[in-house]
Chains A and B, each alone.
Chain A
Amino acid sequence: MHQRHIVIKNETGIHARPASLIVKEAQRFKADIVLIKNENEYNCKSIMSILSTSSKKGEEMLLKATGEDAEAAIEAIGNLLESNLDA
């Protein structure tokens, strides 16, 4: 299991475009990947789940992955989550 704290840096937070980019990236990995916010788990391979985090700029979440490629998944999705997702 691998995990990393991430902070949303995207100006408009997580909406349809960022969510679809995150899911597309997450689906490249075999690992189970979740975001944890207020003790709720959100599946990074589901658009609706990611949208449901209702994340705004500056919010911190825990990114957690379990599985053979978990480390690479955390690296890739963590970096993506902290990037400017609207660019």
Chain B
Amino acid sequence: MLGLFKQSKSKELLIEAPIKGRLMDISEVPDVVFSQKMVGDGMAIEPSEGRVTAPIEGIVLQVLDSKHAIALKSNEGVELLIHIGIDTVDLKGEGFEVFINVGDKVKVGDLLILFDLEKVKDKAKSTITPIVITNMEELADLEKSAHPQNQWIMRAVTER
């Protein structure tokens, strides 16, 4: 019995804000794919600057060809998608500069992407940037915080 309990250790991952700006719940994103949590649960940020940094320590899983979205995997196995703006796929990468490659290891605060905030404001439906966990089935609990004083915006608990 004791061995069984030992195996079910839970781990905690604190996710920081990858962009400066106004925090909101995922349900407030003006796109049903995100607001109805079809991609996953999470938070969103209305950016005040066009600089995206790593919100967790882990590896780069995927950078979309149009450079407007990046997927990371934490050391605990949590998969995170940062999707810059809404309908930004139509910009076809214009105004986005990527500073990492798929497979790179990243630390919290590492620069991932720079983007032209004015251009996204001008050409996309919204600059609101969802930050979602795409493998929610791996999580035992998810706590969110929109409090600007907090260092983290999400606290994910994994059970193994």
B83 and A47 contacting across the interface, CB-CB below 8 Å: no
Q: Mark A12-44, 1 if CB is under 8 A from B, else 0.
A: 110111011101100000000000000000000
B64 and A20 contacting across the interface, CB-CB below 8 Å: no
A15 and B64 contacting across the interface, CB-CB below 8 Å: yes
Is the C-beta of B134 less than 8 angstroms from some C-beta in chain A?
Answer: yes
Which residues in B have their C-beta under 8 angstroms from that of A13?
65
In the assembled complex, the Cα of A46 lies from the Cα of B138 at a distance in Å of: 12
Interface size classification for chain A: 10 to 19
In the assembled complex, the Cα of A43 lies from the Cα of B135 at a distance in Å of: 13
Which residues in A have their C-beta under 8 angstroms from that of B134?
46-48
Which residues in B have their C-beta under 8 angstroms from that of A21?
33, 38
Query: Which residues does A use to contact B, with CB under 8 Å?
Result: 12-13, 15-17, 19-21, 23-24, 46-48, 51-52, 54, 56
* 17 new A-B contacts at CB < 8 Å, known A16-B81, A47-B40: A12-B90, A13-B65, A15-B64, A16-B69, A17-B33, A17-B89, A20-B39, A21-B33, A21-B38, A23-B38, A24-B38, A46-B134, A48-B62, A48-B81, A48-B135, A51-B71, A54-B64
